[in-house]
Amino acid sequence: MDDECLPWHQDLWRQLRQRQAAGRLPHALLLAGPAGLGKGSFARRLARALLCDRPTVEGEACGQCRSCRLFRAGSHPDFSVVQPEEDNKSIESDQPEGDAGGTGAKKKKSKAIKIEQIRDLCAFLGYTAQYGGYKIALLEPADRLNVNAANSLLKTLEEPPGNGLLLLVTAQPARLPATVRSRCQKIGFGLPSPAIAVPWLTARIAGGLEPATLLDVAGGSPLAALTQADGERWRRRRELFECYEQVLAGRMDPIRAAERWTQGDLTENLRWLIGWHTDLIRLKMSVDLPRLSNPDLRSALRRWADRGTPRALFERLDAAVRLRALCATTQVNAPLLLETFLSDAFI
């Protein structure tokens, strides 16, 4: 994914290219927007181009020079990546959003970017560039900075080295301290139009899946939609929907259902659950045919909506959101929380 020029990036790329040509590229960029838009890939593409010895007329890296070869090998001396360190604890990373350009494999990681990493980063930026150009550092995801690390980073943001460039990537910019955000120039990534995203998806999926439906289920993020095209994920979504329907109808024990819901990626499972309840409210409150995040489930969701009161539907959505927030912490009994949620089904 790192080498792909995603079509919804082109306007932002052109703007940054113009700023660079005019000598107005800032010392810190905050690349922010919803998950699944390839922000990390964009950041690497930019870093690769800025470090290239012979960039193209479009501002792209040539891919052949010494800098490009070192960058591709992950050993460029003037480029550094800061991410949450690997940890000995059994903490798994969230499902990748596609921004990192990785393989999607689960890794054991700590939750935070720590102050020692930022101190090393500041030292790196303070050195003279070995190849005489930029010194570039990528923080991803930047919202994982702990308080001490963020405070340490402020010193570099306030007094940046002349050839240093910081690229902060996040899907949750509100989690960054305002003091950090205010010292970066924001590059906002918005959801692409279906006219751009659907053709891109169509060229990359198979198996009879409908690209527009995948895009809706993924909240409009093309890279997130591409992960949904995984047959196993799509099948699990359908199985969990049927499982939940059986619980609502009183045909499945909540304890057994909770066991099934904890299988796979719990974060993703709960995101689907919230999406279903959001669609229920859309169906209940709209006099017209509303656009749904789960259009392939419209018939069943309509039946659910018809059987619940507006107040009950809103209460269940609130409960689903609270459930996801609680399960995002480490010190919880997720099966017990799920069992309680499923036992309180409104239908």
Q: How far is CA 122 from CA 161, 220, 329, in A?
A: 9, 37, 31
Please indicate, yes or no, whether residues 183 and 243 belong to a single structural domain of this protein.
no
Please indicate, yes or no, whether residues 247 and 183 belong to a single structural domain of this protein.
no
Taking the C-alpha atoms of 96, 97, 99 and 100 in order, what is their torsion angle to the nearest 10 degrees?
0
CATH (domain of 176): 3.40.50.300
Domain boundary among 188, 221, 252: 188
Mean pLDDT of 320-342: 90
Tokens 């392939």 belong to residue = 296
Chain-centre distance for alpha carbon 47: 20
Please indicate, yes or no, whether residues 184 and 238 belong to a single structural domain of this protein.
no
Q: Are 338 and 247 in contact (CB under 8 A)?
A: no
Please indicate, yes or no, whether residues 43 and 169 belong to a single structural domain of this protein.
yes
The SS3 call for residue 15 is helix
Assess if residue 216 is contained within a domain: no
Better-predicted residue by pLDDT, 148 or 328: 148
CATH (domain of 337): 1.20.272.10
For residue 347, pLDDT beyond 60: no
Please indicate, yes or no, whether residues 105 and 245 belong to a single structural domain of this protein.
no
> Residue 95's closest CA among 341, 235, 271?
271
Half-sphere exposure of 82 (CA within 13 A, CB side): 31
Assess if residue 100 is contained within a domain: yes
Assess if residue 323 is contained within a domain: yes
Tell me the helices (H) and strands (E) count for the chain, helix number first.
15, 5
- The domain tally of the chain equals 2
Range of the domain at 242: 230-343
Q: How far is CA 1 from CA 4, 37, 103, 109, 254, in A?
A: 5, 11, 9, 22, 40
Please indicate, yes or no, whether residues 249 and 179 belong to a single structural domain of this protein.
no
For residue 58, pLDDT beyond 90: no
Q: What is the pLDDT at residue 132?
A: 85
> Residue 171's closest CA among 289, 297, 39?
39
**Which tokens hold the place of 265?**
């990626």
Identity of the residue numbered 325: A
Mean pLDDT of 224-252: 90
Residue 166 confidence class, pLDDT cut points 50, 70, 90? very high
Cis peptide before 141 (omega within 30 of 0): yes
Q: What is the pLDDT at residue 287?
A: 81
Please indicate, yes or no, whether residues 259 and 323 belong to a single structural domain of this protein.
yes
Q: What is the per-residue pLDDT across 89-143, written as a single tens digit (0 to 9) for each?
A: 333 333 344 344 433 333 444 588 999 999 999 999 988 899 888 999 999 999 9
Residue 208 confidence class, pLDDT cut points 50, 70, 90? confident
Tokens 């101190």 belong to residue = 119
Mean pLDDT of 248-266: 92
Assess if residue 136 is contained within a domain: yes
Please indicate, yes or no, whether residues 274 and 150 belong to a single structural domain of this protein.
no
For residue 53, pLDDT beyond 50: yes
Domain boundary among 135, 164, 188: 188
Assess if residue 221 is contained within a domain: no
Q: What is the pLDDT at residue 103?
A: 32
- Rounded to whole angstroms, how far apart are CA atoms 110 and 84? 6
Q: What is the pLDDT at residue 89?
A: 38
Q: What is the pLDDT at residue 98?
A: 37
Please indicate, yes or no, whether residues 132 and 255 belong to a single structural domain of this protein.
no
Packing angle between helix 334-343 and helix 254-261, nearest 10 degrees? 130
Please indicate, yes or no, whether residues 181 and 240 belong to a single structural domain of this protein.
no
Which pTM does this prediction carry? 0.83
Burial of 299 (0-12, 13-18, 19+ CB in 10 A): exposed
Radius of gyration of the chain (CA): 23
Q: What is the pLDDT at residue 330?
A: 66
Please indicate, yes or no, whether residues 93 and 166 belong to a single structural domain of this protein.
yes
Please indicate, yes or no, whether residues 35 and 164 belong to a single structural domain of this protein.
yes
Assess if residue 218 is contained within a domain: no
Domain boundary among 126, 160, 188: 188
Q: What is the pLDDT at residue 3?
A: 58
